[in-house]
């Protein structure tokens, strides 16, 4: 029988969690653009899908920030790592806040036509989503920069938490080159 490996402790979940917000939040604008490109009566499913991806990605970014803070406590520190870690944490918190606001704003954009007049259908199925997608580009750049800084911490500076032994024994320190 196939058994799933045990989940690592909270302070070591960050490497498992971080990829979800990156993927979900970078795919969402594609659905916004498709929704804006199709006929207004066919746009809703695409805009709803974009909103769902944004909501899931935003929840995931909250988890990524929380697990990242816990993981940061395990990392060996030197001046270069401290500076990069502070930059990454600051960007991560900004990313979390920007996408939280963006998701709420997009929910208003998606659901506003339900409360408006019929003439505003084109406005809320094409024009507003396109403007939102342009602004979303800035948020996506922030997300990519945050991910890049995290990647630098691990791949350039060798900053990662100790390895986990999944049998419940004490962690084995990671050897750095």
What confidence tens digit (pLDDT) does each residue in 118-151 have?
656 677 788 899 999 999 999 999 999 999 999 9
Has residue 104 been placed in a domain? yes
| DSSP 3-state of 172 | strand
Please give the pLDDT value at position 133.
Answer: 94
In the chain, % of residues over pLDDT 70: 86
**Residue 7 banded pLDDT, cuts 50, 70, 90:** confident
Q: What is the pTM of this model?
A: 0.83
Count the domains in the chain.
1
**Alpha-carbon separation of residue 143 from 68, 98, 127, 129 (angstroms):** 15, 9, 24, 20
8 Å CB contact between 35 and 129: yes
Residue 85 lies inside a defined structural domain of this protein: yes
Q: Which residue has the tokens 């969690």?
A: 17
Quick one: tokens of 55?
């909501």
What's the whole-number mean pLDDT along residues 28-48? 93
Rounded Cα distance between 153 and 147, Å, is: 10
Report yes or no on 161 lying in a domain: no
170 belongs to a structural domain = no
Q: Is residue 141 part of a domain?
A: yes
Tokens representing residue 114 in the block: 């339900």
129 lies in some domain: yes
Domain that holds residue 77: 11-155
In a domain, 52, yes or no: yes
């Amino acid at each position: 029988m196939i058994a799933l490996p045990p989940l690592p402790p909270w302070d070591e979940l960050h490497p498992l969690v971080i990829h979800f917000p990156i993927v979900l939040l970078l795919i969402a604008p594609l659905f916004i653009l498709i929704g804006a490109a199709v006929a207004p009566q066919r746009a809703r499913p695409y805009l709803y899908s974009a909103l769902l991806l944004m909501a899931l990605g935003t929840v995931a970014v909250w988890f990524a920030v929380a697990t990242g803070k816990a993981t940061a406590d395990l990392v060996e520190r030197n001046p270069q790592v401290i500076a990069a870690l502070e930059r990454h944490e600051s960007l991560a918190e900004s990313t979390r806040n920007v996408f939280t606001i963006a998701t709420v704003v997009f929910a208003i954009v998606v659901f506003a036509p339900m409360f408006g007049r019929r003439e505003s259908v084109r406005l809320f199925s094409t024009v507003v989503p396109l403007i939102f997608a342009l602004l979303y580009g800035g948020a996506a750049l922030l997300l990519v920069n945050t991910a890049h800084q995290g990647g630098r911490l691990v791949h350039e500076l060798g900053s990662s938490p100790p390895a986990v032994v999944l049998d419940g024994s004490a962690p084995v320190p990671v050897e750095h080159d």
